[in-house]
Amino acid sequence: MHDEGTFTVKAGLAEMLKGGVIMDVVTPEQAKIAEQAGACAVMALERVPADIRRDGGVARMSDPEMISGIQQVVTIPVMAKARIGHFVEAQVLQALEVDYVDESEVLTPADEAHHIDKWAFTVPFVCGAKNLGEALRRIGEGAAMLRSKGEAGTGDIVEAVRHMRMITGEIRRLTTLQPSELASAAKELQAPVELVREVASSGKLPVVLFCAGGIATPADAALMMALGAEGVFVGSGIFKSDDPPARARAIVEATTHWQDPERLASASRGLGAPMTSLESSKLSPEELLAGRGW
């Protein structure tokens, strides 16, 4: 009678997050600040990407104790990250009843060949993608929500823009092809042909697409919405800035009013300094997180 864990139910939660901001938080206090600023969900993790980058070493799923602590203080959805391919971390997160699992390149990958079989879970998954092929492979594995990867922990928007333009551009290209050309397009994209056909006919992904990786200001969030994101993840950008509550509120406002430059101007005033940023193009290839996953 009650069908739980259906794809409609999984993808439906992402539908309800649209137009919202999902904020990385590392403590219950930060989670409260995020909720009171209007976040539509929080991502519970031990270290924000900027700190993972600084500390180095292996980054893993967070301590269940801290995830539960955050679940206890907020009523908005709580997400948490598992390593790419680490299906046992995902099982643990499902047992904790997190609302979404992020199979994330921000953590150190656990499997170099296989992503998690996300169909095997009741909890929904969000995954990162740099291009359409990667996006459709993740959906083929059962992801119910996607985010463009960007380059986490940098505060540099350029990679997020590159990935979002790549995904939306490749979708537009598919819509111009004839049906007879789609099998070959699927081969080039290394994506399931049924999903390629679906995208070619609808002109959009079959799941909600957010953006992530590099958003530091209200204008960054609005830029990504204008480029086709349906909502934004902000990792280090809020709690590594001078005034997290004000910046969090401003990014929420900018995500709602992304088409209104006057509102963006007022939202951007007096927020103090943004996070300390890194220019993505100055990072060495092994420092780039977006290359993880395939």
Please report, as ranges, the residues that interact with another protein according to CB under 8 A: 1-6, 8-9, 12-13, 15-20, 35-41, 75-77, 94, 97-100, 122-124, 252-253, 255-257
Handedness of CA 81, 282, 239, 220 (dihedral sign): negative
Asked if residues 166 and 173 have their Cβ atoms less than 8 Å apart, the reply is: no
CB nearer to another protein: pick between 99 and 243: 99
Q: Are 167 and 201 in contact (CB under 8 A)?
A: no
Sequence-ordered list of residues with C-beta below 8 angstroms from that of 177, at least 6 positions apart, any chain? 185, 200
CA distances from 170 to 164, 175, 191, 195, 208 (A): 10, 9, 12, 13, 16
18 is an active site residue:
no
Shortest distance, position 40 Cβ to another protein, whole Å: 4
Alpha helices in 112-230 (DSSP H): 132-140, 158-175, 182-189, 193-202, 218-226
Question: Considering beta carbons, is residue 232 or 275 the nearer one to another protein?
Answer: 232
Identify the H or E element spanning 211: strand 208-211
Say whether 76 sits in a helix, a strand or coil.
Answer: coil
Is 115 in contact with 127 (CB distance < 8 Å)?
yes
Q: Kindly state the smallest distance separating residue 16's Cβ from another protein, in Å.
A: 5
Output 94 or 131, the one with its CB closest to another protein: 94
CA distance 64 to 201: 42
At closest approach, how far in Å is the CB of 189 from another protein? 26
* Comparison of 47 and 257: residue with beta carbon closer to another protein: 257
d(CA 184, CA 131): 17
Closest CA to 53 of 16, 116, 108, 119: 108
Nearer to another protein, 21 or 182 (CB): 21
Task: Choose the catalytic residue: 81, 118, 149, 240.
Answer: 81
199 vs 252 by CB, closer to another protein? 252
Contacts for 173 with CB less than 8 Å, ≥ 6 apart: none
Min dist. Cβ of residue 238 to another protein (A): 15
In whole angstroms, what is the distance from residue 27 CA to residue 13 CA? 24
Q: How far is the CB of 249 from another protein (least distance, A)?
A: 8
Minimum CB distance to another protein, residue 71 (Å): 8
| CA pair distance 236, 101, nearest whole angstrom | 19
Which residues carry out catalysis?
81
